[in-house]
Amino acid sequence: MTAIPNSGGSVVLSLDAELGWGFHDLESPPPQRVEAGRRGWSTMLKLLDEFEIPATWGVVGHLLLDSCDGRHADHPAPDGWFERERTEWRDREELRFGTDLVAALLEADVDHEFASHSFSHVLFSEIDRELAVAELERSREIATEWGESFDSFIYPRNEVGHRDVLAEQGVRAYRGRTPYREGSRVVFDSAIRDRSLLVDPVIDEHGLVNVPASLFLFGFEGAARTVAESVWADPMVRVAKAGIDEAVRSNGLFHMWLHPNNLTHERDDRRMRTILSYLDRRRAETDLSVETIGDVARRIESGVDGTVRAANSQPMSGH
């Protein structure tokens, strides 16, 4: 199905907000990432506020709880799935719960989209249907207790699965996998080969709008990043700017994403500040808009219905 492009192009920023839940199933969770979750969350809220950029926040449902028994016996997860809550992280409530950070997100001046990142960060490509249903139901239940609901879903580790369950559970859109290469390869493809970074949102066979990712902003780290930064200021900034410029030029969609816990060092904060300030400037200078995943879904749904059409409704092509 061909999507109707937004006149003037648009940029989406999505975040996987998870604190400890992004790592609880790993044998050795990376300590810097685990410890950066809270700081990164607050830093991103501040930066997005400063540049008035709304983002889609996929929040792990468990973070909306004040407390739990560390067992969740009524949840059909495999044995041991919540074990870290009862062992190493028993006294690390700040990794397991995030009511303060969720409240800060909901109270932000910018109109962020509250989206789901499942209840306990299960991998939808591996779980059975019963658990997929339970993860959505539990997330919906807790959100309702907060007076919130969600239309969009971000799959843990981008493991797409059980899309029929999402549709049944009232989800309208999800972030699909990027069609492009990742990490140092995307830097090479974009900076050296001048490859496209735009994506085409489509309605899938379940009626869900798939808003694919263009670029993971922290896929190029460690020693390679340090070396590259001695040549170019920050290669990922260069790629992100190229994506923003391409969205302007081609009236297309550029979708960047990250985890708040990717902001482990000040240089990461600088990367985000540089990208967001550039996005803000290009938005002011051109017809570019910033959208959430939910905004894109509504635009695509109405375009397909034929009820609302963008002024310049040439189908996107060639990427």
Q: Which residues bind Zn ion (CB under 5 A)?
A: 16, 18, 22, 68, 85, 156
Nearest approach, Cβ of residue 18 and Zn ion (Å): 5
Q: Which is nearer to Zn ion, 116 or 251 (CB)?
A: 116
Give the Cα separation of 133 and 128 in Å (integer): 9
Q: Which is nearer to Zn ion, 140 or 283 (CB)?
A: 140
Q: Which is nearer to Zn ion, 97 or 220 (CB)?
A: 97
Nearest approach, Cβ of residue 173 and Zn ion (Å): 17
Q: Which is nearer to Zn ion, 1 or 68 (CB)?
A: 68
Nearest approach, Cβ of residue 218 and Zn ion (Å): 13
Nearest approach, Cβ of residue 62 and Zn ion (Å): 6
Q: Which is nearer to Zn ion, 85 or 234 (CB)?
A: 85
Nearest approach, Cβ of residue 97 and Zn ion (Å): 8
Nearest approach, Cβ of residue 102 and Zn ion (Å): 15
Residue of minimal Cβ distance to Zn ion: 68
Give the Cα separation of 188 and 309 in Å (integer): 36
Nearest approach, Cβ of residue 101 and Zn ion (Å): 15
Q: Which is nearer to Zn ion, 119 or 254 (CB)?
A: 119
Q: Which is nearer to Zn ion, 123 or 167 (CB)?
A: 123
Contact status, residue 293 vs residue 112, Cβ threshold 8 Å: no
Nearest approach, Cβ of residue 46 and Zn ion (Å): 21
Q: DSSP of the chain, one letter per residue?
A: -PPPPPTT-EEEEEEEE-GGGGTTTSSS--HHHHHHHHHHHHHHHHHHHHTT---EEEE-GGGG-S---S--TTS-PPTTTTHHHHTTTTT-HHHH--HHHHHHHHH-SS-PEEEE--SS---TTTS-HHHHHHHHHHHHHHHHHTT---SEE--GGG----HHHHHHTT--EEPPPPSS--THHHHIIIIIT-----B--EE-TTS-EE----EETTSS-HHHHHHHHTTSS-HHHHHHHHHHHHHHHHT-EEEEEE-GGG--SHHHHHHHHHHHHHHHHHHHHSS-EEE-HHHHHHHHHHHHHTSS--SS-PPP---
Q: Which is nearer to Zn ion, 8 or 70 (CB)?
A: 70
Tokens encoding 166: 């999402």
